[in-house]
Amino acid sequence: MKLKNLLPFAKKEKENYFERIPYSIQNHAALTKKTDVAVVVPVYNADKFLKQTVDSVIVQTLGLQNITLILVDDGSKDKSRYMMKRYAELYPNIVSVFLEENTGSPAFPRNLGAHLANSEYIMFLDADDWLDHDGLRQLYSLMEETGCDYAVGKAVEVSAKGEKVIGRYESCKVRKNVSPYSIEHLFYHLGPRARMMRLSFIKKHQILFPELKYSEDKMFFIDVLTKVGKISTTTEVIYFLNRIPENNASLIMQTSVMEKMDTNITALKYVMDKNLPVEEEIMIVNRIIEFDSIARLFDRKHFTRSDDRDQYFEKLEKLLKVFYSYNRSYQIEDMIKKPINKLYFTYFVQKDYDSIIKLSKWSKFKGTRSYQVIDGLPYTVAHLDGGKKVEIPIPVQAHLVSEKKKKGAAMFTIELSGHDIPEIQAVNFQHRDYIASTYDVPHAIEQDKGIVTVNLTSEDMAKMEDGKYILSLRYKDYEKLTVAKDAESVSSIKDRKKTYEFYRTVNGNLSFQIIGNQ
């Protein structure tokens, strides 16, 4: 699909778009009944995990009678079509759509599913992912309460290494009817996961997934977020993103870095042509240039292992030429946030490609580093191959100065140092085994510039379940800062039921566990 086809088109052109590929529908009658939520799933050779995906919708607490599940098969050659037919036979609210030819992208199946849907809200679900059982109800209730056209919740990535929350900035707190631009980094992760939208909003603005091999999600949600006005967010777990290697054969994994850069160039042109207000444009352009291009080109192992690094430099040069052709008032170097990315960009501008290669190797293969204080500010010193040393500013770090305990309470004095000292909002406890178990204790914090005092009572800690927790200081709503602890000592507080221990991890950080008393 060419770039011009991403723009709104006339009604006749829209009809032609959806008629250009023949398809058949099983359970067409379900589309005549308006439901609360439509869930659209593009399917292609997904028989290994389709059952888990579909079953996660069937068991939703919202009630399957209030949901239309639209499965759109993109010419599968495995058992997916058979499974879809069987589900449509068993459940009147499951609609199976069969395309007569493969389109090569989830874009057309998603667009067709949205076109066919007859619901108040819509959500997209990939065929190898699954929903939390209460996910749809949580987002539906939030949208009904706020009247907004877009809501997002917590997405958990599941991999061989365990679970982690992705896009923490958008699900770190409950927000109701706020500007998308009030959430820093909102444009960094724009996959379909954990997002619900008002279907009439999507249809009114004729927003489509572009038929690209990569970045169709990013383009779609950039369109949504630049038009939506207000959004709402929740901290509840909504969506599980499957990144287990043996179960994941997504197009993202199959697409080369150079192909991804071509779509980044397309996306950059598309965003710049919108002529958004400067501060809004900067948020999106920062994502494309720093996150999608500089970091993903150079701060990755594939770059250090490549036999043809010149193509990396050529692609970034091409992207930067596009940016500079628009003659904007702001500079790229001023909007790059991460210190190591600033270094990559500085070396690139200087055409010091050798330093980019050495810095990437140091970063990705844990090269030798030391610590240095210059003019009272801390730096990580990267010892690059060939003897060159590079000073990388440390934005903020935390160090435990003292710890005390008294009856029923633990007190800590923590020193912050760095180039950007934030306001600490809370002590955060993240369960190491259960990603959804996270606890904030905001009233335990007192801060005087770079000195933070933490006072935790047994009443604060008694609210948590038994187990080990990652202890951190939360700031900027979602950023978390671990606390370095020098001593190997363990501080314990006991009540009648539990023992609360603060200890030093193997990585040298202050951590916490709760042990039930026998």
The bridge status of strand 175-178 relative to strand 231-242 is antiparallel
Strand-by-strand arrangement of the 483-484 sheet? 445-448, 451-457, 409-417, 397-406, 483-484
Return the amino acid letter for 70.
I
Question: Could you report the per-residue pLDDT of 386-397, keeping only the tens digit for each?
Answer: 999 999 999 999
The reported pLDDT for the residue numbered 245 is 66
Return the amino acid letter for 53.
T
The reported pLDDT for the residue numbered 16 is 82
- Do residues 1 and 13 touch, judged by C-beta distance below 8 A? no
Q: Can you tell me which residue has the tokens 């004095």? A: 413
Instruction: Tell which residue, 195, 201, 282, 286, has the closest CA to residue 232.
Output: 195
For residue 20, what are the contacts with CB-CB under 8 A and spacing of at least 6?
A: none
Position 14 pLDDT exceeds 70: no
- Residue 414 vs residues 152, 162, 202, 397, 510: alpha-carbon distances, Å: 34, 30, 48, 10, 11
Position 357 pLDDT exceeds 60: yes
Diameter over CA atoms, the chain: 75
Summarize the confidence of residues 392-412 as an average pLDDT: 94
- Do residues 481 and 473 touch, judged by C-beta distance below 8 A? yes
Question: Could you report the per-residue pLDDT of 69-104, keeping only the tens digit for each?
Answer: 999 999 999 999 999 999 999 999 999 999 999 998
Question: Could you report the per-residue pLDDT of 500-511, keeping only the tens digit for each?
Answer: 999 999 999 999
Question: Could you report the per-residue pLDDT of 197-234, keeping only the tens digit for each?
Answer: 999 999 999 999 998 877 889 999 999 999 999 999 99
Q: How many CA atoms lie within 13 A of 239 on its CB side?
A: 27
> SS3 of 325, please?
coil
Position 9 pLDDT exceeds 90: no
**Encoding tokens for residue 165?**
């929350």
The reported pLDDT for the residue numbered 406 is 83
Domains delineated in the chain:
3-253 (3.90.550.10), 262-393 (no CATH), 397-516 (2.60.40)
Q: Which helix (H) or strand (E) holds 16?
A: helix 11-19
Return the amino acid letter for 488.
E
The reported pLDDT for the residue numbered 5 is 42
Query: Would the pTM of this model clear 0.85, i.e. be above it?
Result: yes
Return the amino acid letter for 451.
I
For residue 11, what are the contacts with CB-CB under 8 A and spacing of at least 6?
A: none
- Do residues 409 and 455 touch, judged by C-beta distance below 8 A? yes
- Residue 178 vs residues 135, 193, 217, 482: alpha-carbon distances, Å: 21, 20, 22, 29
How confident is residue 463, by pLDDT bands cut at 50, 70 and 90? Answer: confident
Q: Can you tell me which residue has the tokens 């948590």? A: 464
Question: Could you report the per-residue pLDDT of 301-350, keeping only the tens digit for each?
Answer: 999 999 999 999 999 999 999 999 999 999 999 999 999 999 999 999 99
Of all residues in the chain, the percent with pLDDT exceeding 90 is: 83
